[in-house]
Each structure stands twice: as structure tokens, then as C-alpha cells.
Amino acid sequence: MRVFITAATVGEWMPCFTRLDKLYTEKSRRFKVYFHQSGVGMLASTFSLAKLVLEEKPDLLLQAGLAGCFDTSIDLGKIVAVEKDLAGDIGVEENGKWRDLFNMKLERSNYHPYEKAALPNQHIEKFNLLKLKTVKGITVNEITTRKERIKQLVKKFDPITESMEGAALHYVCRSTGTPFMQIRALSNYVGERDKSKWLMREALDNLNTALIKYIHKLYKMA
Ligand SMILES: O=C(O)c1cccc(C(=O)CC[C@H]2O[C@@H](n3cnc4c(=O)[nH]cnc43)[C@H](O)[C@@H]2O)c1
């Protein structure tokens, strides 16, 4: 089994890369873990993930990263698995409402790779090995900051996470039939610009601990 761990930046998986048992990266012949940097945002990540998938044909593509959280009742630092993602800022703001490509009739809500106007992960039950809380995510190119936009997005999509690469993973993998998982550590509440209120360090530590546990479980299962 060939597993690729991908993140927007190397910093997001570096602690796992340095601590992971060599069994998984070198010694085992039946199981191999590789690391990949996709770049930040939907443009860079769609291109690099599509290239990776077409050239390497992974058995599992595992995206790991930080995310903003819309739900302030969920503790920062928590690790979640994104079961459904979609582009949160491709569309138009009209009369105070957010209209996406489906509302604009520029995309069909059930045309592959879409299903009910979203990009669900049909592999989540099989690959949610750590039994993480499963959530709906949205993906944006512009980090959401305005209160009014947050309200629009919550009303329209009822998301828990916001990232800048999640939908790219779901789009590329659903389009190519590649098994995938998206694991995110909640580093901040969406719209919070005071970085002293972010839990970036703790989120990264938790994310990498989860990655190491995940690979260990996957090895035993594969
Ligand atoms: O606002 C800044 O100046 C800034 C500087 C460095 C990093 C950031 C990030 O927000 C990290 C972006 C990275 O992590 C994901 N992420 C984390 N929180 C959010 C969010 O609230 N909204 C969207 N994406 C977020 C994202 O996937 C990026 O890869 C900011």
C-alpha cells in the first residue's frame, strides 16, 4: 500500500516526518508512506494534487492541515475528519445572500464529481481509523473575516471547518477514483484575527500525534 500524506505547507507534517518509524517510510516492502506539499489555496493544491494522483496513483491520499472552526462550542486543538467539503467562495454575494455555482446554474448539483451540490468522501467509514468526529467543511481562497460573510456562509452551508485546500482534495480524488481522507486540527475560530487567541502550536502537535497513530493503525489494517 502506498500512502501519501499531503499538506499545504511542510510545517504541517514535519513533526510526523521526523518522528515516524522508518518501518513505514523505508523498511516495509508492502507499505510505504510518502510526504507531499500541495501549496496553499485551491489553485496550487488542485494542480499539485492532480499531478500527484495521475503520476503516482496512491492507494490513499491523506490531507492533513489546520483549519478555522465556525462552531465556538468545539474546543480549539481538536482533530476532526472532513466527511464533506465544497468551495465556499466560488459564486456571488447578492442582496446579502451567498449564491454558489449551483444557485447560479453554472454547475449541476449531481454531475460527477458533485453529489447534492457537495463533494462527500465516500471512503470515510473505511478510513476514519481514529474514529474522529466527522464534520462538513468549506474551502476558500480568501480567509473569511467579515461577520456578515460568516453569517452568510453558516446560513448557506452550515459548515464546521474552513480550510484553503480541502475541496481541492475531494474534487481531484472523486474525479479520479482515488481513496482519500482529510484530517484537520482546529487552530482558530473563523474570523478571529487576534493570533494570540489561535491555538496553532497545540493544533499542530495534536495533528502530528494523530498522523503517527493513524499510520500505525493503517499499517496493521493494510
Ligand atoms: O492571517 C495570517 O496572516 C496568516 C498567516 C499564516 C497562516 C495563516 C493561516 O490561516 C494558516 C492557513 C492554512 O491553514 C488553514 N487555515 C487555518 N485557519 C483557517 C481559517 O480560518 N480559514 C481558512 N483556512 C484556514 C488553511 O488551509 C491554510 O493552508 C494566516
Closest CA to 48 of 19, 8, 91, 16: 8
Q: Which of ligand 1's atoms lies nearest the C-alpha of 9?
A: 29
pLDDT given for residue 163 in this prediction? 98
Residues pairing with 81 in the sheet: 134, 183
The pick from 164, 193, 196, 197 for probing ligand 1's pocket by mutation, whose C-beta has the most ligand atoms within 8 angstroms, reads 164
The pick from 163, 188, 196 for probing ligand 1's pocket by mutation, whose C-beta has the most ligand atoms within 8 angstroms, reads 163
With both helix axes pointing from N to C terminus, report the angle between 42-56 and 166-176 in degrees, rounded to the nearest 10: 30
CB of 200 within 6 A of ligand 1: the answer is: no
CB of 190 within 6 A of ligand 1: the answer is: yes
Residue with cell 497513530: 213
CB of 68 within 6 A of ligand 1: the answer is: yes
CB of 165 within 6 A of ligand 1: the answer is: yes
Domain boundaries, the chain: 2-221
- Name the CATH code of domain 2-221 (choices 1.10.10.10, 3.40.50.1580, 3.40.50.10470, 3.30.70.100): 3.40.50.1580
pLDDT given for residue 191 in this prediction? 97
Closest CA to 62 of 136, 113, 112, 129: 129
C-alpha cell of residue 167: 475541496
Tell me the pLDDT tens digit for each residue of 1-56.
999 999 999 999 999 999 999 999 999 999 999 999 999 999 999 999 999 999 99
Tell me the pLDDT tens digit for each residue of 95-152.
999 999 999 999 999 999 999 999 999 999 999 999 999 999 999 999 999 999 999 9
CB of 163 within 6 A of ligand 1: the answer is: yes
pLDDT given for residue 110 in this prediction? 98
Q: Tell me how many degrees the CA angle 20-77-140 measures, rounded to the nearest 5.
A: 95
CB of 187 within 6 A of ligand 1: the answer is: yes
- Distance, in Å, from the CA atom of 12 to the CA atom of 130, rounded to the nearest integer, reads 19
Of all protein residues, whose CA lies closest to atom 8 belonging to ligand 1? 143
pLDDT given for residue 58 in this prediction? 98
pLDDT given for residue 199 in this prediction? 98
Distance 28 CA to ligand 1 centre (A): 35
- What ipTM score was computed for the predicted complex, to two decimals? 0.94
- Distance, in Å, from the CA atom of 77 to the CA atom of 64, rounded to the nearest integer, reads 14
CA separation, residue 219 to residues 5, 107, 198 (Å): 14, 39, 33
pLDDT given for residue 152 in this prediction? 96
Determine the average pLDDT of the residues in 151-155: 97
CB of 67 within 6 A of ligand 1: the answer is: yes
Determine the average pLDDT of the residues in 178-195: 98
